[in-house]
């Protein structure tokens, strides 16, 4: 490691040490709490690891240096006003709302009481006090290694103090979506937030999760390092939405690890609109056959935004299906990265795996790096993958303009149509509508 890198990582480790020390010092009588133990273990793990550099293959196009050099403060809660919540809450969803400001749960605005039957939501600190749930959480964490080392996971586990465990009981079809509203409010910036979710969808259950990230101030600086561990038991179905519009200066690393048992269906739907640097690590391990995995995502970057998607689907067992469609648009000096791995192991016969990444690069300074990777070791499978990078169809622009539609509007319509193909897959129509509106809003403001 070069001296400069060494220095810089030392700086990062310094502020992380300081921050963890603040936590330790504040524990007082709770030093032996199982969550404190859990976090301490994670912090030790973190100390033994290095943050990735651009020499790591999976980080070739994304540098975490600017993100990690800030000495962040722990996010502090802010008293929200009604108007702050207005554009963040989607009343038409009738969701179970969980509101976090700067990473801290706001119980006043959250629906922790009167949950629908079969749905349990409890703080990780509490879950840790019960033998059974603690073991389940630890088991999730032990599986992380299977997807390759990711330093941001122990980082999340070391610092998250507000994590939640969401559980759908056996055969519970939970109709009301669970909406996690992560708000960044100006305050002690730059701040550090650690959204954390352990999701247990038991046999035959049905659960809809929506994560939305939003800044109340468009240029506040903070770092969100989110992590979700999601386990689907046999025949469970989880639909997982993520709507991201962080501030223009914000950093976000978003990690989701999914494990699926037989006959289960997991669908991820994501829209990345905000943020200065956003990196999504989404991976699924298939534990048993007949599963379905869907990843549908859009990214829309302008200015100097950097939006990076890494996905990994590990087909280790036969008769599983995966569909992956990522579409994005980059303008100005924005940069996009897609690195999609699909592994079809020798035993994964009769696998159906489809992967596509399509981008529009609309300015000479915008860049898209795409790397679809399909590794197949089984012989009786149906797999396809592809990547395209293109521009808007100018004859289509002309056609629209020749009907009196101004150029800007014509181009926006075509961009909306391009991304709309992904949005149309979103089953939950109110969310799809929100995403369409966000896309339109962003295209108009650009």
Partner 1 sequence: MLHIKDLRVSVEDKEILKGVNLDINPGEVHAIMGPNGSGKSTLANAIAGREEYQITQGSITFDGQDLLDMEVDERAHAGVFMAFQYPIEIPGVSNATFLKSAINALREARGQEELSPVELLKLLREKARMLGIDESFLKRSLNEGFSGGEKKRNEMLQMALLEPKLGILDETDSGLDIDALRIVADAVNQLRGPERSFLIVTHYQRLLNYIVPDYVHVIYDGRIVKSGDKELAIQLEEQGYDWIKAEAVAG
| Shortest separation between residue 418's beta carbon and partner 1, angstroms | 7
Give the footprint of partner 1 on this chain (CB under 8 A).
Answer: 393-396, 398-407, 409-410, 413-414, 416-418, 420-421
d(CA 421, CA 135): 41
Q: To the nearest whole angstrom, how small is the minimum distance from the Cβ of residue 402 to partner 1?
A: 5
Residues ≥6 apart with Cβ < 8 Å to 28: none
Q: Which is nearer to partner 1, 7 or 407 (CB)?
A: 407
195, 215, 316, 174: which is closest to 256 by C-alpha?
Answer: 195
User: Among 49, 52, 56, which residue's Cα sits nearest to residue 65?
Assistant: 52
Strand 191-193 and strand 206-215: pairing? unpaired
Q: Is there a contact between 263 and 407 (Cβ–Cβ < 8 Å)?
A: no
80 or 405: whose CB is closer to partner 1?
A: 405
Angle, vertex CA 37, rays to CA 36 and CA 40, nearest 5: 85
Residue 25 carries which DSSP code? H
Task: Concatenate the DSSP letters of all residues of 172-212 into one string.
Answer: -B--S-EEEEEEE-SSSSSEEE--EEEEEE-TT-EEEEEEE
Compute the least distance from the CB of residue 413 to partner 1, in Å. 5
Specify the residue, 28 or 402, whose C-beta has the smaller distance to partner 1: 402
- Nearest-approach distance from CB 440 to partner 1, in angstroms: 11
Nearer Cβ to partner 1, position 151 or 416? 416
Residue 71 vs 390, nearer CB to partner 1: 390
| Alpha carbons 67 and 78: distance in angstroms, whole number | 23
Closest approach, Cβ 95 to partner 1, in A, equals 28
C-beta of 417: minimal distance to partner 1 in Å? 3
Output the six-digit token pair for 393. Answer: 């169809």
CB of 7 to partner 1, least distance (A): 50
Beta-carbon neighbour count of residue 384 at 10 Å?
A: 11
**DSSP-assigned states of every residue in 341-388:** EEEE-TT-TT-EEEEEEEEEE-STT-EEEEEEEEEE--SS-EEEEEEE
Q: Pairing state of beta strands 119-123 and 164-168?
A: antiparallel
Determine the Cα–Cα distance for residues 414 and 409; give it in Å rounded to an integer: 9
Within 10 A of 391 (CB to CB), how many other CB atoms are there?
9
Which H or E run contains 317? none
378 vs 400, which CB is nearer to partner 1? 400
CB closer to partner 1 out of 2 and 402: 402
Nearer to partner 1, 115 or 397 (CB): 397
Nearer to partner 1, 36 or 413 (CB): 413
Instruction: State the CB neighbour count (10 A cutoff) for residue 379.
Output: 8
CB nearer partner 1, residue 219 or residue 421:
421
Selection from 87, 444, 429, 443 nearest residue 300 by Cα: 443
Neighbours of 351 (CB within 10 A): 27
Minimal distance, residue 300 CB to partner 1, in Å: 15
For the purposes of burial, counting CB atoms within 10 Å of the CB of 13, is it exposed (0-12), middle (13-18) or buried (19 or more)? middle
Residue 425: CB minimum distance to partner 1, A: 13
Closest approach, Cβ 272 to partner 1, in A, equals: 19
Q: Which is nearer to partner 1, 119 or 410 (CB)?
A: 410
CB of 392 to partner 1, least distance (A): 11
Answer yes or no: are the C-beta atoms of 200 and 170 closer than 8 Å.
Answer: no
**3-class SS at 46?**
helix
């Amino acid at each position: 490691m070069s001296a400069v890198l060494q220095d810089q990582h030392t700086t990062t480790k310094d502020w992380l040490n300081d921050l963890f020390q603040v936590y330790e010092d504040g524990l007082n009588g709770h030093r032996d709490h199982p969550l404190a133990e859990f976090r301490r273990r994670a912090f030790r793990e973190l100390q033994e690891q290095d943050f990735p550099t651009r020499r790591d293959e999976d980080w070739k196009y994304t540098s975490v240096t600017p993100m990690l050099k800030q000495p962040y403060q722990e996010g502090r809660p802010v008293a929200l006003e009604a108007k702050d919540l207005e554009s963040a809450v989607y009343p038409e969803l009738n969701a179970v709302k969980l509101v976090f400001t700067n990473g801290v749960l706001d119980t006043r605005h959250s629906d922790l009481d009167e949950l629908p039957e079969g749905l349990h939501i409890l703080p990780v600190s509490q879950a840790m006090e019960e033998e059974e749930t603690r073991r389940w959480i630890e088991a999730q964490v032990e599986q992380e290694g299977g997807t390759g080392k990711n330093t941001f996971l122990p980082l999340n586990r070391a610092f998250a103090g507000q994590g939640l465990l969401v559980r759908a009981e056996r055969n519970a079809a939970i109709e009301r979506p669970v909406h996690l509203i992560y708000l960044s409010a100006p305050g002690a910036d730059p701040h550090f937030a650690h959204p954390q979710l352990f999701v247990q969808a038991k046999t035959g259950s049905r659960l809809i999760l929506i994560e939305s990230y939003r800044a109340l101030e468009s240029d506040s600086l903070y770092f969100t390092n989110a992590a979700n561990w999601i386990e689907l038991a046999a025949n469970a179905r989880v639909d997982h939405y993520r709507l991201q519009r962080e501030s223009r200066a914000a950093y976000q690393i978003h990690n989701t690890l999914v494990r699926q048992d037989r006959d289960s269906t997991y669908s991820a739907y994501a829209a990345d609109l905000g943020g200065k640097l956003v990196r999504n690590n989404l991976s699924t391990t298939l534990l048993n056959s007949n599963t379905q995995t869907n990843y549908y995502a859009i990214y829309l970057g302008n200015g100097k935004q950097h939006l990076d998607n890494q996905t990994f689907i590990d087909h280790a067992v036969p008769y599983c299906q995966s569909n992956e469609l990522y579409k994005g648009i980059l303008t100005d000096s924005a940069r996009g990265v897609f690195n999609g791995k699909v592994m079809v192991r020798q035993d994964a016969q009769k696998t159906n795996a489809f992967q596509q990444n399509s981008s529009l690069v609309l300015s000479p300074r915008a860049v898209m790096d795409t790397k679809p990777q399909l590794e197949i070791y089984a012989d009786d499978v149906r797999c396809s993958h592809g990547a395209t990078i293109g521009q808007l169809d100018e004859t289509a622009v002309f056609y629209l303009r020749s009907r009196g539609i101004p150029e800007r509007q014509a181009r926006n319509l075509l961009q909306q149509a391009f991304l709309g193909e992904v949005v149309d897959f979103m089953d939950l129509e109110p969310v799809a509508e929100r995403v369409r509106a966000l896309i339109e809003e962003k295209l108009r403001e650009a």
